[in-house]
Structure 1
Amino acid sequence: MMMMKKEIKVSASSVALCAVVVVVLLMAEAAPIAEAVTCSPVALSPCLGAISSSTPPSAACCQKLREQKPCLCGYLRNPSLAPYVNSPGARAVASTCGIPYPRC
């Protein structure tokens, strides 16, 4: 009994196209979309009361602090902002909000 083999001809461009489609699909699954953060110390104004006194931070303060987290090292490098960001009150607010103090 003789078996017949079928040949499938695949062009190089078809293989390349399939590879590109697979890579794009994998990247879409693996890479979350990152939103750009606008660093603005004014955005942390809801935290001023909690930083300067022993009152607990509000939910708005914690939300803004989470949003501004990528900016904290920049604030620490700014001589005008560093005393506030590095204060015991700011550390307490970060701790209460569950945000680790940045190591820059």
Structure 2
Amino acid sequence: MAKFAVCVATLVLLVLAELHVSMAVTCAPTQLAPCASAFSAASPPSKLCCTKLKQQKPCLCKYIKNPSLRNYVNSPNAKKIARICRVAIPKC
């Protein structure tokens, strides 16, 4: 269950991330772990969750194209977290 929450949180953050990044970003869905509680319990995302999501924004299309992650990134909870964190979900 914890692994599932980490994957979900990672995807949510990646989808919702919006940050102008001047250096290379390491695309790792596990970076979105701080969003797990927001995704699974429908609680508001933490500041750390939003920060991580913004950092992972350049990776969101990669996650959306991954069949294992697509459903998490496109889920209603992920979209809600992205909206709260003010991160646009990219059209890939």
Q: Which amino acid aligns with 1:39?
A: C
Aligned length: 72
Q: Which residue in the other structure is 2:60 paired with?
A: 72
Confirm whether residue 48 of structure 1 aligns to residue 32 of structure 2.
no
Separation in 2, partners of 1:36, 1:50? 27
Q: TM-score, normalised to structure 2's length?
A: 0.74
Separation in 2, partners of 1:91, 1:53? 15
Render the CA deviation track for 1:35-88: whole Å, top value 9, x for unaligned: 000000000011111112220000000000000000001000000011111110
Separation in 2, partners of 1:74, 1:49? 23
The one of 72, 81, 89 equivalent to 1:84 is 72
Q: Which runs of 4+ in 1 moved over 6 A?
A: none
Structure whose residues are more often helix by fraction: 2
Larger radius of gyration: 1
- Structure possessing the higher relative contact order (Cα contacts under 8 Å, 6 or more residues apart): 2
Q: Percent identity?
A: 53
Q: Which residue in the other structure is 1:96 paired with?
A: 84
Q: TM-score, normalised to structure 1's length?
A: 0.66
SS in 2 for 1:68: helix
